[in-house]
Each structure stands twice: as C-alpha cells, then as structure tokens.
A and B are shown apart, each in its own frame.
Chain A
Amino acid sequence: NAGVTQTPKFRILKIGQSMTLQCTQDMNHNYMYWYRQDPGMGLKLIYYSVGAGITDKGEVPNGYNVSRSTTEDFPLRLELAAPSQTSVYFCASSPGLAGEETQYFGPGTRLLVL
C-alpha cells in the first residue's frame, strides 16, 4: 500500500512553461486535494475533487487546472508558469465519509519558477 504518491519530487520551470504534477492514491479514497505551501505559510487549497469527474476550486485556483478521470489519479496542470507559483505542492486524499476527515498527504513536489 503506497498511499499517496507524487511525481516529480523537484522541478525547475522557466516563466511561461507548462507542466503537470502527478498524484496517485491506492486507498480507493473518494476525495482528493491539491495544496500549496509557501514559506512560513499554512497549506492553501488549490483544487479538490469529491469523486471521479467532479472537481471544484479551492482558495487559490488561478493559474492551475485539474482533472479527475479515475478514482486513483488527480493531476494538477500549471499553464504559463509564473514566479508566484514557486512553492511546494502537496496532494492529499481522504475517504470522504462522515467522521473520516483525516487527509493523507503525499511527499510533495518542490517547484521553482525562474
């Protein structure tokens, strides 16, 4: 049981480039999330999904897109990378059941936009 896996672990992008951050979970969780963490800050929700085919915006969705074609995968797409998107990105999943609020996080992707 690998839990939540994220690739890549680290990436440098040039301004204007695009990339996809991959996230996969093997716990059959309904809910999946993307967060970013800036230095000295908490986790900010970018997008979330409550099931395959259903996604919605979080607090800071601008500049990002997501899709959820399967229960397992929840990729995050960055279009036209900007220095403000330099951050650590965490993917998480949870069962989505009442009383099961615990989220399980991946190891993170560190992104540097220059």
Chain B
Amino acid sequence: DQQVKQNSPSLSVQEGRISILNCDYTNSMFDYFLWYKKYPAEGPTFLISISSIKDKNEDGRFTVFLNKSAKHLSLHIVPSQPGDSAVYFCAASATTSINSGGYQKVTFGTGTKLQVIP
C-alpha cells in the first residue's frame, strides 16, 4: 500500500520556467510533509517542508503547497535552473506510538526525476 505517491517518474523543464512536482497521499494522519532532493551517488538532502496546519511555505525559489482536502501537495521551483536537475522525493510523517514514546514515522514517495534543460 503506497501511502505517498509521486505519479510522474520524470519531468523535463526549460531553464527559467516553472517546475511543478506533485505528490498525493492517502493517510489523513500525516501531519508534516517534506521534500528531499537527491543527486546521483549522494544521499537525499532536505529541501523544504510544511506543517499540516499551513497551506503554503516558501523558501527562495522553492514553494510547497498543501491541499489537505485533496490530500495533495506540490513543489514549485521558479525559476528552474540546470543545477536543480535531480530526483525529488516527497515524504510525509505521522506520529506513531511505540513503547519508548512517540515516534515520527516518515513515508517516502518513489521520486520524480527533474531535468532542467539549459
């Protein structure tokens, strides 16, 4: 059961244009959402996040939008740059109870490979 889905495996965008990466989720208990960026042969790095109590968070060229009723979030990159070419993972977290207390369980999507063409 894929609780976090990124239905577009790849996306190509011209330099300077907007890149929109989409993510859908099914678990209404998710309360925090994150985007990670991954270059080849490197580990994922945190990009931007949003709490479920917000519908938008902006950080420079990156904006994440959350539509809770549709269980959908998107990452906008404006303007896109060739250095943005990477795999982008959407992730969602929910508090899970374990013997030692609460634990933020994070579920990752399968990733979208973005190519920004110069």
A residues with a Cβ closer than 8 A to B are 4, 31, 35, 40-43, 45, 48, 50-51, 54, 56, 90, 92, 94, 96, 101-108
Q: Are B44 and A90 in contact (CB under 8 A)?
A: yes
**What does DSSP make chain A's interface, helix, strand, loop or mixed?**
strand
Q: Are B93 and A42 in contact (CB under 8 A)?
A: no
Residues of A within 8 A of B36 (CB): 105
Chain A nearest Cβ from B4, distance in angstroms: 7
Q: Are A42 and B111 in contact (CB under 8 A)?
A: yes
The yes or no answer to B110 lying at the interface (CB within 8 A) is yes
Q: Are B110 and A41 in contact (CB under 8 A)?
A: yes
Q: Are B108 and A42 in contact (CB under 8 A)?
A: yes
Residues of B within 8 A of A56 (CB): 98
Q: List 27 A-B contacts (CB under 8 A).
A: A4-B43, A31-B103, A40-B9, A40-B110, A42-B109, A42-B111, A43-B44, A43-B89, A45-B105, A54-B100, A56-B98, A90-B43, A94-B104, A96-B104, A101-B32, A101-B34, A102-B34, A102-B46, A103-B46, A103-B106, A105-B36, A105-B43, A105-B44, A105-B45, A107-B42, A107-B43, A108-B43
Residues of A within 8 A of B4 (CB): 42
Complex Cα–Cα for A90 and B44 (A) = 9
**How many chain B residues have a CB neighbour from A under 8 Å?**
25
The yes or no answer to B118 lying at the interface (CB within 8 A) is no
Chain B nearest Cβ from A40, distance in angstroms: 7
Chain A nearest Cβ from B106, distance in angstroms: 7
Complex Cα–Cα for A31 and B103 (A) = 9
The yes or no answer to B49 lying at the interface (CB within 8 A) is yes
